[in-house]
């Protein structure tokens, strides 16, 4: 399945306090969390991001706390997927558990600037930069992790299999 | 030497007698100690002499952004936080007490001490550590996340700086996005509370390890 959206570029070590500041951790409503996603890091993102846009970041995206609020806020903000050079490991699994696709690709991060138009095929692990015409490879999402995404996250995945 | 001065992702230790003593009576379920296979191969072996590493201070806004205490320069602080889930063990509080004994916190600094658990809280009280903390002008908090993530009590205002033994110092972590958090071990945090700037316990005449 192919998906189109604009790129929002972020730097290295975007931590979970940047993604969703700790003062909102008493909030459980995803829509309300989304209203504060990256609010200190990039206020313009908060104002102008559109449904289906993508985050493109440098290394160690999602470092910090294990709060699931971080991927929830990103997903609820309408972000289709995150593309980064690397992720903090807790965030990596948290994102899948919450049903937010994230992919790793150095070449994509090298070749994408803020505002570029992208087309992403998660299953093939293919990222096309429609602004420049370049195509990048990412590691395809492993089948089990893809199942989590398709089912809408870990809890939904388990529920679907009748375990809860 | 006080604990959290190094950054590591994970630490696995072979359980010794002290560990067993600790677990025995505390564990609610049957426990089992695992050990490496005989003749296990390791991908890499690195040896460090921890006694040769000086206390580290993590500068804003990343825990890995560290400098040795002798390279810190002059950094004035408005707040010192000792404890929380990180570095709030009884040993940590003893270390802090050893540095604080006979001193007062700087008039510019509020010092907040957070034992990690109710049990540690009670033990610290029984040992008389609270008297030392109170004499120094500290606030003693119940075990809590509190200031660590800017929750309550010790939330930093714009431009304020804190030295803390907590484990994260990202932008806005302890309050206002334009405040700053420096991370250190309990001895350095205690000394900094007295000095009013980030400094070493040796400046107050406390030498580690104990003679």
Identify whether B136 is part of a domain: yes
Give A82 or B211, the one with higher predicted confidence: A82
Find the closest chain A residue to B65 by CA distance.
Answer: A13
Q: What ipTM is given for this predicted complex?
A: 0.78
Contact A18 B170 (CB under 8 A): yes
Identify whether B13 is part of a domain: no
Neighboring chain B residues of A21 at a CB cutoff of 8 Å: 150, 172, 177
Residue A156: which residues within 8 A CB-CB, separation 6 or more?
A: A99
pLDDT reported for residue B210: 59
Find the closest chain B residue to A88 by CA distance.
Answer: B9
CB B2 within 8 A of CB B187: yes
pLDDT reported for residue B3: 41
Check CB contact of B170 with chain A, cutoff 8 Å: yes
Domain range for residue B80?
A: 52-204
- Give me the CATH number covering residue B194: 3.30.499.10
pLDDT of A20-67, one tens digit each? 998 898 899 999 999 999 999 999 999 999 999 999 999 999 998 888
How many independent structural domains does chain B possess? 1
- What is the mean pLDDT of the segment spanning A92-114? 95
For residue B55, give the DSSP letter.
P
Identify whether B57 is part of a domain: yes
Q: Which phi and psi (to 5°) does residue B190 adopt?
A: -65, -45
Check CB contact of A119 with chain B, cutoff 8 Å: no
Neighboring chain B residues of A22 at a CB cutoff of 8 Å: 149-151, 172-173
**d(Cα A91, Cα A15) in Å, to the nearest integer?**
10
**d(Cα B130, Cα B133) in Å, to the nearest integer?**
5
Nearest by CB to residue A64, choosing from B150, B168, B177, is B168
**Neighbour-count burial for A28-55, b at 16+ CB within 10 Å, e otherwise:** eeeeebbebbbbbbbeebbeebeeebbb
Identify whether B35 is part of a domain: no
């Amino acid at each position: 399945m192919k998906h189109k959206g604009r790129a929002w570029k972020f730097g290295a070590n975007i931590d979970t306090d940047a993604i969703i500041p700790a003062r909102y951790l008493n909030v459980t409503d995803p829509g309300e969390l989304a209203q504060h996603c990256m609010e200190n890091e990039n206020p313009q993102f908060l104002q102008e991001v559109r449904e289906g846009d993508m985050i493109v970041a440098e290394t160690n995206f999602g470092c910090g706390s294990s709060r699931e609020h971080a991927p929830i806020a990103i997903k609820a903000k309408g972000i289709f997927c995150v593309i980064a050079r690397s992720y903090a490991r807790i965030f990596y699994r948290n994102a899948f558990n919450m049903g937010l696709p994230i992919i790793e690709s150095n070449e994509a991060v090298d070749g994408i600037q803020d505002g570029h138009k992208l087309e992403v095929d998660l299953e093939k692990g293919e990222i096309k930069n429609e602004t420049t015409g370049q195509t990048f490879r990412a590691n395809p999402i492993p089948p089990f992790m893809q199942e989590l995404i398709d089912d809408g996250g870990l809890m939904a995945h388990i529920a679907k299999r009748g375990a809860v | 030497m006080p604990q959290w001065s190094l950054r590591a992702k994970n630490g696995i230790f072979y359980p010794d007698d002290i560990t067993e003593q600790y677990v025995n009576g505390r564990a609610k379920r049957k426990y089992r100690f695992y050990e490496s296979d005989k003749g296990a191969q390791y991908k890499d072996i690195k040896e460090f002499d921890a006694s040769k590493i000086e206390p580290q201070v993590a500068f804003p806004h990343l825990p890995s952004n560290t400098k040795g205490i002798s390279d810190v320069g002059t950094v004035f602080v408005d707040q010192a936080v000792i404890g929380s889930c990180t570095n709030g063990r009884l040993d940590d509080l003893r270390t802090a007490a050893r540095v604080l004994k006979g001193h007062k916190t700087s008039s510019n600094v509020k010092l907040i001490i957070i034992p990690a658990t109710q049990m540690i809280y009670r033990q610290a009280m029984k040992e008389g550590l609270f008297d030392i903390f109170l004499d120094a002008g500290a606030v003693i908090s119940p075990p809590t996340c509190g200031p660590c993530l800017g929750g309550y009590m010790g939330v930093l205002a714009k431009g304020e700086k804190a030295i803390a033994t907590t484990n994260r110092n990202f932008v806005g972590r302890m309050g206002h996005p334009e405040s700053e958090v420096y991370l250190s071990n309990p001895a350095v945090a205690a000394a900094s509370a007295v000095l009013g700037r980030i400094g070493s316990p040796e400046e107050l005449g406390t030498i580690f390890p104990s003679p």
